[in-house]
Chain A
Amino acid sequence: SVLTQPPSASGAPGQEVTIPCSGRAPDIGSNSVNWYQQLPGKAPRLLIFGDYRRPSGVPDRFSGSKSGSSASLAISGLQSDDEAEYFCAIWTAGLSGWVFGGGTKLTVL
């Protein structure tokens, strides 16, 4: 896959967890990264766009960053409601389409 994510991550309530998304430098470096949260049985929800920007309504506990060929989603102050699958995504002109990472299932212990 163009974008690689670990299949799982976990953290205790109140802690911070970071989910990485790695790819080739030309892909991630040249395109803005978006992050989506998908709660069980629900549609995806835009969490971060343009590498680190939050849409209105998304708590500031969620933050995005990017450096070189990798991007990260950080979630601080973990809550049980954060248990979900998280996907990174980029638009690639080379493939003329959106590409998603494989997804990371977050467990709040």
Chain B
Amino acid sequence: EVQLVESGGGLVRPGESLRLSCAASGFDFSLYSMNWVRQAPGKGLEWISYITNSRKTIYYADSVRGRFTTSRDNAENTLYLRLASLKADDTAVYFCARNSYSGLQRAYFMDVWGKGTTVTVAS
């Protein structure tokens, strides 16, 4: 079964750091680009980061650039997100999502999602 499982969320104080993990199984993780997407309580989806399968290209949303760092370990089938200098506005459920491409349709899409891990930033 194709699956993504996030972990590492919790309650942290403003200014602190945290590392999230996303364990992939059921597919060849090393072939796929991956994303992190978050959702603040009662709000919509916000894409925050993308990393290619080779790690050569990493993109960040303006809201997290310079504070969050995405990495991956293809040998361990795991995606990571390090969150630093956390603010109350970073409180959200963090999802990892697989990035896929259909050559036939020439379309990119996020087709596999984890259930998410919750990060709460509060003093």
Given A49-B105, A97-B59, A87 and B111 contact (CB-CB distance below 8 Å): no
In whole Å, how far is A59's beta carbon from the nearest beta carbon of chain B? 17
Dominant secondary structure at the A interface = strand
Which of A38, A49, A99: most chain B Cβ within 10 A? A49
Dominant secondary structure at the B interface = strand
Q: Is A50 an interface residue (CB 8 A)?
A: yes
In whole Å, how far is A84's beta carbon from the nearest beta carbon of chain B? 13
Q: Is B115 an interface residue (CB 8 A)?
A: yes
Asked whether B47 lies within 8 Å of A43 as measured between CB atoms, the reply is: no
Interface size on B, residues (CB 8 A): 24
Q: Is B102 an interface residue (CB 8 A)?
A: yes
Given A43-B95, A43-B114, A103 and B106 contact (CB-CB distance below 8 Å): no
Residues of chain A contacted by B45 (CB below 8 angstroms): 36, 38, 44, 87, 89, 100, 103
Within 8 A of A (CB), among B2-40: 35, 37
Q: Report B's interface with A, CB cutoff 8 A.
A: 35, 37, 44-47, 50, 59-61, 95, 97, 102, 105-111, 113-116
